[in-house]
């Protein structure tokens, strides 16, 4: 595992940062990186991808193809990911070659390419089973779970969690895609159709609310923790976020999280989705990347999660991050039809529209950030204003 590096005092205006993926997260990373004087490159499959709309250095390619990834890496000093679900083999290979100073060939002027978060950390956190094991090892409270790889395991899950359980795909699940509820024998039979595949099963947790916290860890190990938020899901998809919120168990949890990130030698932004059961704070999921629950940081904080992620990768000291208003709210704009969307003028919130090629049911099309005095009023305003969109 690489040692922590000393932080830098200046940066070259010729630094080449590659972002793997072309969605809205890559778009917002690119928009924050460019004004720092960094040349941003995108690897993605479609010219209409949101990140390609704002970045001229685009390589058409598949983030899981060795050939495409190696070609992409040749232009770069730094590489990061917008999603945790890429196959890591090629990224390990690039990292290994970069560490040896060997040519892949890598850029002549800059023989070292740094990948953040590291392929090791990504590989552990991209799989629900190894992610859970890492959390348990760090003594972080989680829901109990068992691995479910066959129909027989499914029956065992039903015996172990007779009040119902949630089946989660070990890899590739997001926004509820890859999450299945089982609350009856009928459900159980229907789930048979999913196999063969790798899942974990967790009992249904009756939480009071869902919370989330995002942290950014730099190369020297310093850690910035963004405010705790409440995040509300509709059909397992984030619908709105409010904050800041308080929880008496947070500081204890953060100590354990800090230890976990240190063990992983983690660099960059990482989000922890939490269940507040009333008595406990359980970690539901870890996302090793910038995250929807921290989009509020664009307007409510002095520095956004996107900027902080890039600074972490550059190996620069974090600025002092300040909360700019007593309360904030973010509402997601999720497609409700397949018709082109209509955006209202004169919104009181700050719109971030992703520019996706087409509106689709369930597709995240944009979000609106609000700042003000109290979360309750902001949420009310956000939900009212959202009705003016045709989505």
Ligand X SMILES: Nc1ncnc2c1ncn2[C@@H]1O[C@H](COP(=O)(O)OP(=O)(O)O)[C@@H](O)[C@H]1O
Q: What gap in Å lies between CA 378 and CA 229, rounded to an integer?
A: 14
If contact means CB under 5 to 8 A according to the sort of partner, which of ligand X, Mg ion, none does residue 168 touch? ligand X
CB of residue 161 to ligand X, shortest distance in Å: 9
Question: Is residue 229 a contact partner of residue 212, using CB atoms and an 8 Å limit?
Answer: yes
- CA–CA distance, 74 with 65 (Å, rounded to integer): 15
Smallest distance from the beta carbon of 228 to ligand X, in angstroms? 16
Q: Which partner, Mg ion, ligand X, none, binds residue 316 by CB below 5 to 8 Å per kind? A: none
> CA–CA separation, 381 vs 385, rounded Å?
6
Q: What is the DSSP letter of 316?
A: B
Instruction: Based on the shown chain and the rule CB under 6 A, indicate whether residue 325 belongs to the binding site for ligand X.
Output: no
The window from 20-28, 175-183, 186-194, 315-323 that contacts ligand X (CB under 6 A) reads 175-183
Q: Does 385 bind Mg ion (CB under 5 A)?
A: no
CB of 305 to ligand X, least distance (A): 17
Nearer Cβ to Mg ion (84/273): 273
Whether the Cβ atoms of residue 90 and residue 55 lie closer than 8 Å to each other: no
* Nearest alpha carbon to residue 40 among 293, 309, 351: 309
Nearest to 317 by CA among 254, 223, 227: 223
Q: Is the peptide bond before 389 cis (omega within 30 degrees of 0)?
A: no
In angstroms, give the least distance from the CB of 164 to Mg ion. 18
Place of tokens 């976990």: 260
Residues 107-166 that bind ligand X (CB under 6 A): 143, 166
Residue 205's binding partner among Mg ion, ligand X, none (Cβ under 5 to 8 angstroms by kind) is ligand X
The per-residue DSSP string of 70-127 comes to HHHHTT-SEEEES-S-S--HHHHHHHHHHHHT--SS--SS----EESS-HHHHHHHTS
Q: Which of 141, 172, 176, 335 binds ligand X (CB under 6 A)?
A: 176
Q: Which window, 107-115, 198-206, 254-262, 288-296, contacts ligand X (CB under 6 A)?
A: 198-206
Tokens at residue 64, please? 């899981």
Contact call for residues 200 and 275 (beta carbons, < 8 A)? no
- Is the CB of 160 or the CB of 317 nearer to ligand X? 160
Q: Which of residues 256-295 bind ligand X (CB under 6 A)?
A: 273, 284-285
Phi-psi group of 355: left, alpha or beta (phi > 0 → left; psi -120 to 50 → alpha; rest → beta):
left
CB of 273 to ligand X, least distance (A): 5
Site map 210..249 versus ligand X, x via CB under 6 A: x----------------------x--x-------------
CB of 288 to ligand X, least distance (A): 13
Give the nearest distance from C-beta 367 to ligand X in angstroms.
Answer: 16
Q: How many CA atoms lie within 13 A of 79 on its CB side?
A: 27
175: helix, coil or strand? Answer: coil
Write out the residues near Mg ion by the rule CB under 5 A: 273, 285
Write out the residues near ligand X by the rule CB under 6 A: 143, 166, 168, 173-176, 178-179, 202, 204-205, 210, 233, 236, 273, 284-285
């Amino acid at each position: 595992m690489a040692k922590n590096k000393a932080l830098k005092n200046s940066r070259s205006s010729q630094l080449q940062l590659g972002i793997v993926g072309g969605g809205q997260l890559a778009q917002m990373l690119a928009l924050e990186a460019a004004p720092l004087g960094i040349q941003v490159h995108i690897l993605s499959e479609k010219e209409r991808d949101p990140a390609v709309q704002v970045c001229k250095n685009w390589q058409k390619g598949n983030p899981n193809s060795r050939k495409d990834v190696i070609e992409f890496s040749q232009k770069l000093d730094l590489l990061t990911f917008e999603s945790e679900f890429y196959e890591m083999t090629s990224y390990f290979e690039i990292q290994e070659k970069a560490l040896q100073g060997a040519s892949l060939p890598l850029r002549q002027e800059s023989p070292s390419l740094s990948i953040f978060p590291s392929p090791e950390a990504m590989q552990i956190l991209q799989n629900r089973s190894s992610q859970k094991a890492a959390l348990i090892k760090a003594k972080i409270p989680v829901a109990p779970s068992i691995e479910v790889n066959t129909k027989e395991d499914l029956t065992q899950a039903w015996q172990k969690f007779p009040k119902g359980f949630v089946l989660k795909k070990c890899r590739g699940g997001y926004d509820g895609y890859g999450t299945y509820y089982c609350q009856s024998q009928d459900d159980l039979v229907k789930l048979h159709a999913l196999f063969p595949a790798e899942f974990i099963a967790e009992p249904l947790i009756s939480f009071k609310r869902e919370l989330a916290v995002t942290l950014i860890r730099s190369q020297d190990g310093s850690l910035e923790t963004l405010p705790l938020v409440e995040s509300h899901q509709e059909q397992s998809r984030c619908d709105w976020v409010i904050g800041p919120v308080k929880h008496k168990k947070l500081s204890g949890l953060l100590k354990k999280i800090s230890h976990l990130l240190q063990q992983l030698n983690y660099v960059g932004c990482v989000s922890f989705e939490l269940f507040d059961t009333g008595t406990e704070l359980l970690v539901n999921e870890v996302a090793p990347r910038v995250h929807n629950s921290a989009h509020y940081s664009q307007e409510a904080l002095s520095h956004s999660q996107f900027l902080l992620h890039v600074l972490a990768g550059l190996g620069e000291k974090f600025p002092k991050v300040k909360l700019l208003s007593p309360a904030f709210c973010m509402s997601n704009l999720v497609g409700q039809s397949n018709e082109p969307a209509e955006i209202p003028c004169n919104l009181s919130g700050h719109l971030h529209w992703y520019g996706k090629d087409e509106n689709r049911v369930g597709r995240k099309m944009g979000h609106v950030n609000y700042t003000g005095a109290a979360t309750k009023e902001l949420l009310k305003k956000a939900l009212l204003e959202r009705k003016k969109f045709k989505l």
